[in-house]
Amino acid sequence: MSDKNGVLLAIVVPVYNEGSNLKSFNEQLVKQAESVSSNSYEIIYIDDGSQDHSGVLLKDFCEANKNLRLISFSRNFGKEIATTAGIHEAEAQAIMTIDADGQHPIELISEFIKKWKAGAKVVIGVRNSNHGEGFVKRYGSKLFYKIFNRLTKVRLIEGSTDYRLIDSSVQQEFIKMTERSRITRGLIDWLGYKRDYIKFDANPRLSGEAGYSFRKLLKLAIDSTISMSLSPLYISAYIGAAVLPLSVLTGLFMIIDALIGDPLHLKATGSAYIVVFLVFLVGILLVSQGIIGLYLSHIHTETQNRPLYIVDKGRSINLYE
């Protein structure tokens, strides 16, 4: 990498099948970038293995404007990895990340820059509302913030998004983090630094569907909690410890039953006791095994030590090196 402080502003945009949105999005973004920092900007698009014509469009944009770069992934690696690749590539004093689907209001970029110039090292876009999001997704995300904040030492602000700005000093530290299962905003939050917030109303998607299904979001939520916290391991240990006295208590009941009959008139047969307890114990064993398995799988992927992403150099444009 050459001069790290090359331009004033870098804007990182992960793109996955956004063909129908990209033209108007790019026009607006370039206009805003030029008005904010004249010619001292770069826009880094990451084509995250799109199957539509996004790649072709992005190539055209980059050939027409030398301030635009394209990192083309060899396949779909997911938004978090795509954003990471863009942050790695950026060579600017301030680096912004924004979604390509038009949900993050482009005109606010100047506000982010203002807060950054006023001294904030991290400026975070916080969503007021999310039009057209289902009940499950809205309350699911509320629940996620609650659990995540309780289990980890990182404080995520509810509604905080990937629409954010980081200073190049934050970028330097971000680059050092090498874990594979990652949630970019979680890592940035973990880094700390002086931060400021900008509230915004999320626009509806320009077109197309959100690439993240509920199942994918749930997996992301579980993975990021597991990678940031060891508490779930303790929880299964605590449950195990709580079960022990319970089984002792039931044992006592059985002795009393045998000695003086059935004082509480439970009329439980011996096999009923056994069935209840077996089911209970098997359930607990499975849960704790599952939790251990989750950590094992994370250790597994981390120790494989594969590259975080693969760039198809032949299809990438205007990159450094």
Q: Which residues bind Mg ion (CB under 5 A)?
A: 101, 103
Nearer of residues 170 and 183 to ligand UDP, judged by Cβ: 183
Closer to ligand UDP at the Cβ: 210 or 235? 210
Closest CA to 106 of 36, 160, 184: 36
Q: What is the DSSP string of 139-195?
A: HHHHHHHHHHHHHSS--PPTTEEEEEEEEHHHHHHHHT---SS--HHHHHHHH--SE
Minimal distance, residue 123 CB to ligand UDP, in Å: 19
140 binds ligand UDP (CB under 6 A): no
Does residue 76 contact residue 104 with C-beta atoms inside 8 Å?
no
Site string for ligand UDP, 278-317 (x = CB under 6 A): ----------------------------------------
Instruction: Give just the sign of the alpha carbon dihedral 297, 301, 303, 304.
Output: positive
Asked whether position 79 contacts ligand UDP by CB under 6 A, the answer is yes
Cβ atoms of 77 and 49 within 8 Å: the answer is: yes
Residues 91-120 that bind ligand UDP (CB under 6 A): 99-101, 103
184 interface partner picked from Mg ion, ligand UDP, none, CB below 5 to 8 A per type: none
Q: Which is nearer to ligand UDP, 76 or 318 (CB)?
A: 76
Token code pair at residue 263 = 């004082």
Nearer to Mg ion, 23 or 300 (CB): 23
User: Which two three-digit tokens encode residue 20?
Assistant: 């129908």
- Radius of gyration over every alpha carbon of the chain, rounded to an integer in angstroms: 25
# chain residues binding ligand UDP, by CB under 6 A:
16
Helix (H/G/I), strand (E/B), else coil: 229:
coil
For the bound state, the minimum distance from the C-beta of residue 229 to Mg ion, rounded and expressed in Å, comes to 27
Q: Is 210 in the site for ligand UDP (CB under 6 A)?
A: yes
Q: Quick one: which segment of 14-22, 106-114, 263-271, 276-284 binds ligand UDP (CB under 6 A)?
A: 14-22
Would you say 91 or 101 has its CB closer to Mg ion?
A: 101
Which residue do the tokens 């109303």 mark? 201
Q: Does residue 186 contact residue 228 with C-beta atoms inside 8 Å? A: yes
> What residues line the site for ligand UDP (CB under 6 A)?
14-16, 18, 48, 76, 78-79, 82, 99-101, 103, 210-212
